[in-house]
Amino acid sequence: MHLYRDPGAFNGAGISVLNLLPSNGWPVSAVAGGFLLPEAVSRVADAHGLIKASEDGKAGCAAAGLARPPRVLLYAGPSVGYPYWGYYAHALLSIGVPFRCVGPDDILANALDTADLLIMPGGFATWGLDRAERQSGIDARVRRFLAGGGGYLGSCGGAFYTADGRPGWLGAFATTPRFTQEYLLAGAGMISIAMEDTPLAAGLPCALEMPYYHGPVYDDPHGGETIAARFRSLIAPSKLFIDNPLDPQRFETLNKRPAVLARARFEGKGRLVVFSPHPEMGEHFRRGVLMEDYVRRYLPIRGAGVIENTLDFLCADDAAGFRLIHNAIHWSCPEGARGQHAAPSVQSLQIQDMHRTVAKGIARLREIAASEAAGMRDIGSWLADRLDREWEALTAGLDALSTAPLVGPGTGDIPAILTRAMADANAWWDGPGTASILLGEASVMAETPIRIVSAALRCTRIDTQIGEVPHG
């Protein structure tokens, strides 16, 4: 065995190796400051940025084996919709955690009976799923799943849904959030959170930065919950998608209040982690926020070169929030997969449809950039060129994926994920209200499907490399 350092907050490829090795039958053990990996997989680990701390396994070092990753369901029903579930798709694939998308009909057909973890993105689970989806029995099945030992992750609306205080909510957290139905009172922006000393902080810096969009405002809990992070500071307001920027005065409503809560033993065995902000929104979302505040303000002061570097050096498929999600998954599902992963759905990639969808998004980005004044027009065109080049580089991997069926554990659902993401992205561009959107909004929506594809290809590439290592 070799001891590897903890990959930290910005190495999604290394975290993917740690998640995909157990899926392929290789043991991985967490120890203080790192992970023990079999010598046979050293080449794969080295290739994806994991760094050896020692050539020898640490005898006598307390080790906890990483279980086979849980069977994950990502809720993508109408009350959530795209791009909310798309941000989580990018985050999960970036850390090597494949999943299946489900909606209300799947839940009512007992999809949770063969799952270990349900992830609820932002959206209108805020109202309760039965009410939001106008179907009865969804809430009861979610509650039964959690009581039986299921895990749950929820962001923003998905966090509201677990709280106490409104009809249809699960009541898993006794802390009733402020601004329940009137959630828009809170505002939107880039914020930072301060991590507390809990297992969810493993491998993370003391503060993380991520978007916040009207998530629950909690007082300190009184029902056995654990505070995993608190709001720390306001970085920048945001008017992307909802023109309701969070200002310093309104941020004081959030400051030092719980931002991440965890609870074990909900109605028996359930484990839940909820995020008031959005750790799943990657750095490309941050780029969109910067476009409408930072870039417009500082472009005349510092010039295009500095601004382009600022935007270019944001991470593509890595974010500190993704590592927080990784930690939350393993805390919520300490047993890992409690049963066999379902056989993947048979789905062929519609490559030409994917090309058309991406081209549509980039073309709209160019159109919106062309309507800007000279400096912002140039920045928008630079972003569009950048996405064009990246998509062209990804097409070879897509072509290979469409002709070679996936056989790695769990990754066989990736074609279905990509097909749905592209269909939903295409429908978004054809929907109402997209004729006049902000440049930052266009950049986020043009890039999101590219990010999902990029992360998916990295996930399948790592899974294939691990699968090629012979078991001794």
Q: Are 354 and 453 spatial neighbours (Cβ–Cβ below 8 Å)? A: yes
Residue range 72-282+319-332 forms a domain whose CATH class is alpha beta
Strand ranges (DSSP E) for 2-66? 2-5, 29-31, 34-37, 52-54, 64-65
pLDDT the model gives residue 408: 62
pLDDT digits (tens, 9 = 90+) for 386-437: 999 999 999 988 888 877 666 566 677 898 999 999 999 999 999 988 888 9
Residue 211 CA to residue 355 CA, distance in Å, equals: 29
Q: Are 379 and 308 spatial neighbours (Cβ–Cβ below 8 Å)? A: yes
Handedness of CA 265, 266, 270, 273 (dihedral sign): negative
């120890």: which residue's tokens?
Answer: 31
pLDDT the model gives residue 435: 84
pLDDT tier at 7 (50, 70, 90 boundaries)? very high
Strand (E) or helix (H) holding 118: strand 117-120
Residue 22 CA to residue 410 CA, distance in Å, equals: 11
CA distances from 20 to 64, 264, 349, 465 (A): 17, 26, 23, 10
Please report, for the chain, the start and end positions of each structural domain, with discontinuous segments joined by +.
Answer: 2-65, 72-282+319-332, 351-467
pLDDT the model gives residue 174: 86
pLDDT digits (tens, 9 = 90+) for 140-178: 999 999 999 999 999 999 999 999 888 888 889 988 888
Residue 119 CA to residue 290 CA, distance in Å, equals: 28
* Coil/strand/helix, residue 236: strand
Which residues, at least 6 apart from 442, have a Cβ–Cβ distance to it below 8 Å?
361, 364, 365, 368, 369, 380
Residue 326 CA to residue 16 CA, distance in Å, equals: 10
| Average per-residue pLDDT for the chain | 92
pLDDT the model gives residue 55: 52
Q: What angle do CA 233, 239, 244 make, to 5 degrees?
A: 80
pLDDT the model gives residue 208: 97
pLDDT tier at 222 (50, 70, 90 boundaries)? confident
pLDDT the model gives residue 33: 82
Query: Distance between alpha carbon 15 and the CA centroid of its chain, in Å?
Result: 14
pLDDT the model gives residue 124: 84
pLDDT digits (tens, 9 = 90+) for 273-317: 999 999 999 999 999 999 999 999 999 999 999 999 999 999 999
pLDDT tier at 338 (50, 70, 90 boundaries)? confident
Higher pLDDT, 267 or 205: 205
